[in-house]
Amino acid sequence: MNDPTDPPRDRLFADDPGMLVDFRFDSAVARVFPDMIRRSVPGYGEIIGLLGLFAERYTQPGSTLYDLGCSLGAASLAMRRRIPHPDCRIVAVDNAEAMLERAREHLAADPQPTPVELRCADLREVPIEDASVVVLNFTLQFIDPADRLPLLERIHHGLRPGGVLLLAEKIDFANELSHDFHTGMHLAFKRANGYSELEISRKRSALERVLIPDTLEQHRERLGWAGFQRIETWFQCFNFAALAAFK
């Protein structure tokens, strides 16, 4: 039986014909987002928790942390719990007001002292300054491929020496066998989490032109072009991976 305090269940692609167009981060998505991402992205909860650990280790005194494409603020909340310095702040950015509205509520209910500035803006236009940690958690994949390198260059420029970019993405595979294996396992993960074939195929069509994944090799190469010195892959589950890129 469902606990009445459970987050609302994602049935967007089961019964909303409006979602048959391109995927949008609107109020319907914001309402079910925690359930949607947990049932769709293997390792999401683990990654969010570990972002807190990165913040604990890599936040520099007096610096700014950025959460770009913050959605409901999960990464900001995880980092805020473990930032070891009292004089830091977090800038959390999203261009979907419906997502930010809920992020505002979640942050207000959280007692941690680090200030979080929520900005409704296109993350491509937000200045990155005096940063020690920058998070792009499942967000770069939604940015126009032509804008990805300039964004990473700006992030690199805005990081202090020793600062880190934490990048998590859905990934593609150049090798067909690898592609089929990982996407097949992801499909099994979604089925096991209660999504029907219809929901899975409708969501795939809605995301087709909106979420464009790169391979891990493309990510590593581009991060190198942007100036990052050292790149570590610290998580992978099927076609989802997380990287830490150090300045």
Q: Are strands 240-246 and 159-172 parallel, antiparallel or unpaired?
A: antiparallel
Place of tokens 């967007």: 12
Binds ligand GEK by CB under 6 A, chosen from 31, 45, 52, 95: 95
Q: Does 122 interact with ligand GEK (rule: CB under 6 A)? A: yes
Q: Is 46 in the site for ligand GEK (CB under 6 A)?
A: no
Does 99 contact ligand GEK by CB under 6 A? Answer: yes
Q: Which two tokens stand for residue 86?
A: 């009292």
User: What gap in Å lies between CA 137 and CA 71, rounded to an integer?
Assistant: 10
Restricting to residues 10-29, which ones interact with ligand GEK according to CB under 6 A?
25
Q: Is 78 in the site for ligand GEK (CB under 6 A)?
A: no
Query: Considering the rule CB under 6 A, would residue 123 count as an interface residue with ligand GEK?
Result: yes
d(CA 135, CA 166): 5
Using rule CB under 6 A, residue 54 touches ligand GEK: no
With the C-alpha atoms ordered 8, 13, 15, 17, is the resulting torsion angle positive or negative?
Answer: positive
Residue 48 DSSP one-character state? H
Taking CB under 6 A as the criterion, the residue among 94, 169, 199, 214 binding ligand GEK is: 94
The whole-angstrom separation of Cα 221 and Cα 211 is: 20
Is residue 138 involved in binding ligand GEK (CB under 6 A)? Answer: yes
Q: Which residues are bridge partners to 165 per DSSP?
A: 134, 245
Q: Which stretch binds ligand GEK (CB under 6 A): 137-145, 155-163, 221-229, 232-240?
A: 137-145
Q: Where along the sequence are the contacts to ligand GEK (CB under 6 A)? A: 25, 69-71, 74-75, 93-96, 99, 122-124, 137-139, 142-143
